[in-house]
Amino acid sequence: MSDKIRTQEEIAARVKALESMLIEQGVMTTQAIDRMVEIYEHEVGPQLGAQVVVKAWTDPGFRERLLADSTEACKELGISGLQGEDLVALENTDSVHNVIVCTLCSCYPWPVLGLPPNWYKDPQYRAAITREPRKVLREAFSFDVPESVEVRVWDSSSEMRYWVLPQRPAGTEDWSEEQLLALVTRESMIGVGPLAEAA
C-alpha cells in the first residue's frame, strides 16, 4: 500500500508540473483546466454509474433491461459516449462476485465510471487479478470475499466493456435515492471493493 501511496504522490507532482508548464507556455489557461476538472467531477464519472446502479436497485424492469443490454439501458438515463458503445453489466449475487480488468491495455467503461484509476492500468494489477483474484482483493484492496462466494474475473476489451452491478444491501428497501447513491463507490462497480458504509 505504501508503494501505491507514493505512486499517487509522484503522479500528483508530475501532473502539477505539467499543468504549470502548459499554463506558462500559453497552451492552456487555468480556467480551461478548472473546467476540465469540473467536467470529470460532475458531468462524467462514477456518480453516473451510481445513478444507474440505484435505478437498477429500485426499478426491476430497468434492472432487467440493464442486464440484457447495458448500453441501451444507460442511454435511457442519458449516459452514453465514447468507450460506452458495448457496455455489459455484471450482477453480483449471494454466490458470485464479479471483478473487471483489461489484461491487454486499460479498456474501461468511461461513461459509467469516468476516468480509470491509475492502478487499473498498472501491469501488475492486470496480471495478478486474473491469476489470484482473492489474494489481490485482500492484499491490495483490503477486501475479503467470503470463500463461499465464487469470484469471476472479466477481461474487458475494445469490443466489450464490463462493469459491476453491486448487490443491494439488505435493509435498504425504504431508503431514499440519495441514501442509496451514497453507498455506491467506483471500487464497488469495478469489483475491487465493497459498497460504502451507511452513514
* Residue/partner pairs of 154-160 with CB below 8 Å, 24 or more apart: 154/88, 154/90, 154/98, 154/99, 154/100, 154/101, 155/101, 155/102, 155/103, 155/104, 155/130, 156/100, 156/101, 156/102, 156/107, 156/108, 156/109, 157/102, 157/104, 157/107, 158/107, 159/86, 160/86, 160/88
The single residue of 70, 74, 102, 188 carrying the catalytic annotation is 102
Grid cell 449471494 — which residue? 94
Give the tens place of pLDDT for each residue, 175-193: 999 999 999 999 999 999 9
102 is catalytic: yes
All three cell numbers of 34: 478548472
Task: Name the pTM for this structure.
Answer: 0.81
Cell 507556455 identifies what position?
Answer: 25
Q: What is the pLDDT of residues 93-144, one digit of tens each?
A: 999 999 999 998 878 887 888 888 889 989 999 999 999 999 999 999 999 9
101 forms beta bridges with: 155
Q: What pLDDT does residue 144 have? A: 96
Rama region for 116: left / alpha / beta (φ>0; ψ in -120 to 50; rest): beta
β partners of residue 68: none
Q: Which of 74, 107, 156, 188 is catalytic?
A: 107
Q: What pLDDT score does 53 carry?
A: 98
Active-site residue, 74 included: no
